[in-house]
């Protein structure tokens, strides 16, 4: 059994016990600081985010950004290096402590927080919200609440960039992870955001390649 399979087994065990969210902390805390044991940690910022930041109209330096469920912090550090004022959070206190150890001189404000019960002052506060691979890591019954909370972080005229594994409606979504359907992502529109871009692509950086969606939303003035 490789590390990825072992992590999945652990997740399924917590799911069966009815204490799913605790498995993230269990995984980070039991890894002994070895990032090879964290399936999604690859020691570099998300390539979709890096590419997106090279496209026209990136957020201006000094804009406020929020990295949702930041894991080991590579995306947050990347955005901070681009001059953004970054807040990054994760449910797992061990992950947050790990970020602070990895980046002792960081400008990122790292904190442990629950996406489903976030600090109220984050409401509509961020010009850029970045979410990668968290929604797909949550059991489907948590999805609706998670989408609503993430949408709520986006300031007026702010943007939300989402990257996730993708599937068709009629494909089995046995997780973890639970790839999202296009309809599931459309919930961001129901939460008051406007879809600005939607890409459905095969990510060949993975072996085997993985189907993903990249979606960009914005909150229009008065929305
Ligand atoms: C699949 S990992 C992705 C991490 C990071 N976004 C990345 O791309 O490397 C999912 C992350 O979501 C975090 N997480 C799960 N449930 C959460 C919640 N309710 N609130 C905040 N973070 C959560 C986990 O601790 C984990 O770090």
Strands 154-165 and 210-218 come out as: antiparallel
What are the C-alpha distances in Å from 151 to residues 42, 59, 194?
27, 18, 11
pLDDT digits (tens, 9 = 90+) for 16-57: 999 999 999 999 999 999 999 999 999 999 999 999 999 999
Domains identified in the chain and CATH numbers: 42-218 (3.40.50.150)
Ligand 1 center–CA 89 separation, angstroms:
9
Ligand 1 center–CA 68 separation, angstroms:
7
Strands 109-112 and 85-90 come out as: parallel
CB-based pocket (< 6 A), ligand 1: 21, 24, 40, 46, 69-71, 90-92, 95, 114-116, 132-134, 137
Rounded-to-integer distance, Cα 112 and Cα 43, Å: 20
Rounded-to-integer distance, Cα 220 and Cα 208, Å: 38
Q: Which of 76, 137, 139, 212 to mutate to test the pocket of ligand 1 (most atoms within 8 A of CB)?
A: 137
Ligand 1 center–CA 138 separation, angstroms:
9
Rounded-to-integer distance, Cα 166 and Cα 202, Å: 9
pTM, rounded to two decimals: 0.97
| The pLDDT of residue 223 | 46
Question: Residue with the nearest Cα to atom 4 of ligand 1?
Answer: 71
DSSP per position, 73-139: SHHHHHHHHTT-EEEEEES-HHHHHHHHHH-TT--SEEEE-BTTB--GGGTT-EEEEEEESSGGGS-
What are the C-alpha distances in Å from 11 to residues 16, 36, 99?
9, 17, 22
Rounded-to-integer distance, Cα 171 and Cα 180, Å: 10
Residue 64: name the closest of 130, 149, 150 by CA: 130
Is residue 174 pLDDT above 90, yes or no?
no
Q: How confident is the model at residue 172 (pLDDT cuts 50, 70, 90)?
A: confident
- Ranges 90-94, 120-124, 173-177, 196-200: which has the least confidence: 173-177
| The pLDDT of residue 222 | 61
Query: Angle 53-4-22 (CA atoms, 0-180°, nearest 5)?
Result: 85
Ligand 1 center–CA 222 separation, angstroms:
30
Ligand 1 center–CA 204 separation, angstroms:
23
Q: Would you state the structure tokens that stand for residue 190, as one six-digit string? A: 């129901």
Q: Which of 10, 79, 90 to mutate to test the pocket of ligand 1 (most atoms within 8 A of CB)?
A: 90
When the pLDDT of each residue in the chain is averaged and rounded to a whole number, the result is 95
| The pLDDT of residue 2 | 85
pLDDT digits (tens, 9 = 90+) for 2-17: 888 889 999 999 999 9
Ligand 1 atom closest to Cα of 40? 9
What are the C-alpha distances in Å from 157 to residues 10, 127, 186, 223?
40, 7, 19, 9
Q: What is the CA radius of gyration of the chain?
A: 17
């Amino acid at each position: 059994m490789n590390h990825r399979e072992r992590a999945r087994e652990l997740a399924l065990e917590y799911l069966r016990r009815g204490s799913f969210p605790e498995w993230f902390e269990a995984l980070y805390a039991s890894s002994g600081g070895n990032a090879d044991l964290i399936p999604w940690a690859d020691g570099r910022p998300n390539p979709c985010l890096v590419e997106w930041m090279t496209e026209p109209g990136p957020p201006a330096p000094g804009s406020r950004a929020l990295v949702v469920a930041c894991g080991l912090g590579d995306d947050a550090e990347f955005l901070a290096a681009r001059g953004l004022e970054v807040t990054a959070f994760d449910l797992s206190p061990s992950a947050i402590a790990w970020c602070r150890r990895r980046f002792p001189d960081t400008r990122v404000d790292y904190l442990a927080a629950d996406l489903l019960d976030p600090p109220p002052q984050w409401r509509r506060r961020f010009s850029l919200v970045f979410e990668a691979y968290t929604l797909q890591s949550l059991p489907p019954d948590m999805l609706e609440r998670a989408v609503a909370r993430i949408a709520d972080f986006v300031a007026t005229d702010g943007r939300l960039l989402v990257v996730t594994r993708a599937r068709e409606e009629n494909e089995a979504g046995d997780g973890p992870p639970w790839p999202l359907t296009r309809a599931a992502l459309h919930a961001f529109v129901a939460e008051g955001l406007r879809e600005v871009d939607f890409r459905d692509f095969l990510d060949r950086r993975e072996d085997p390649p993985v189907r993903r969606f990249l979606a960009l939303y914005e909150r229009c003035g008065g929305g």
